[in-house]
Structure 1
Amino acid sequence: METVQVTPHIWMFTFTAGQAYAVRMRDGAGWALVDAGLPGNEQRILDALADLGARPEDVKDIVLTHFHLDHSGSAAALAAATGARVLAGAPDAPVIRGDVPGPPPVLEDWEVPLWDSVQAGLGDVPPAAPCRVDRELADGDVLDWGEEVRVLAVPGHTDGSVALHLTSSGVLFTGDTIANHPHVILGVFNTDRRQALASFHRQAELDVQTACFGHGAPIVGGAGEALREAAAGQPVA
Structure 2
Amino acid sequence: MTDLVEEVAADVFFARGDDVNWVLLRDGKDVTVVDTGYPGYRDRFLRSITAIGSTPQRVAAVLITHAHIDHIGSADHLAHAYGTPVYTDAVEVRHAHRDYLEQASPVDVARNLVRPGTVRWLSRVMRAGVLSRKGAPTAQPFPTEDELDLPGRPRPVPTRGHTSGHVAYHLAAARAVITGDELVTGHAVLAGTGPAVLPAYFNHGDSAPALARLEELDADVILPGHGAVVRLPIREAVARATAQR
TM-score when normalising by structure 2: 0.80
2:77 aligned partner: 77
Displacement of 1:180 after TM fit?
0.9
Cα deviations by residue, 1:156-192 (Å, 9 ceiling, x for unpaired): 1011100011223311110000011201112331112
Gaps of 5+ in 1: none
Residues 190 and 51 (structure 1), Cα distance of their counterparts in 2 relative to 1, 3 Å cut: same
Maintained 8 Å contact 1:91/1:160: yes
Distance 2:185 2:53 in 1: 29
Distance 1:5 1:30 in 2: 16
How big is the alpha-carbon RMSD for the aligned residues of Structure 1 and Structure 2? 3.1
Secondary structure in 2 aligned to 1:165? strand
Residues 136 and 72 (structure 1), Cα distance of their counterparts in 2 relative to 1, 3 Å cut: same
- Aligned residues between the structures: 230
Secondary structure in 1 aligned to 2:226? coil
Distance 2:128 2:152 in 1: 36
2:25 aligned partner: 23
Residues 147 and 31 (structure 1), Cα distance of their counterparts in 2 relative to 1, 3 Å cut: closer
Asked if 1:191 is matched to 2:204, the reply is yes
Given residue 203 of structure 1, which amino acid in structure 2 is its aligned partner?
Answer: L
Displacement of 1:107 after TM fit?
6.6
Displacement of 1:52 after TM fit?
1.7
Percent of aligned positions with the same letter in both sequences? 24
1:123 aligned partner: 126
Residues 148 and 219 (structure 1), Cα distance of their counterparts in 2 relative to 1, 3 Å cut: same
Residues 116 and 94 (structure 1), Cα distance of their counterparts in 2 relative to 1, 3 Å cut: farther
Given residue 80 of structure 2, which amino acid in structure 1 is its aligned partner?
Answer: A
Cα deviations by residue, 1:104-157 (Å, 9 ceiling, x for unpaired): 47979x966449634444233431644233431499443123564221111110
Residues 143 and 58 (structure 1), Cα distance of their counterparts in 2 relative to 1, 3 Å cut: same
Gaps of 5+ in 2: 187-192
2:236 aligned partner: 226
Asked if 1:170 is matched to 2:175, the reply is yes
Distance 2:222 2:163 in 1: 20
Q: Where does 1:120-159 land on structure 2 (aligned, <5 Å)?
A: 120-126=123-129, 127=132, 129-137=134-142, 140-145=145-150, 148-159=153-164
Moved more, 179-188 or 126-135: 126-135
Maintained 8 Å contact 1:73/1:128: no
Higher strand share: 1
Residues 179 and 166 (structure 1), Cα distance of their counterparts in 2 relative to 1, 3 Å cut: same
Displacement of 1:208 after TM fit?
0.7
* Pick aligned residue for 1:201 from 212, 219, 222: 212
Distance 1:202 1:96 in 2: 23
Given residue 217 of structure 1, which amino acid in structure 2 is its aligned partner?
Answer: A
Residues 191 and 116 (structure 1), Cα distance of their counterparts in 2 relative to 1, 3 Å cut: farther
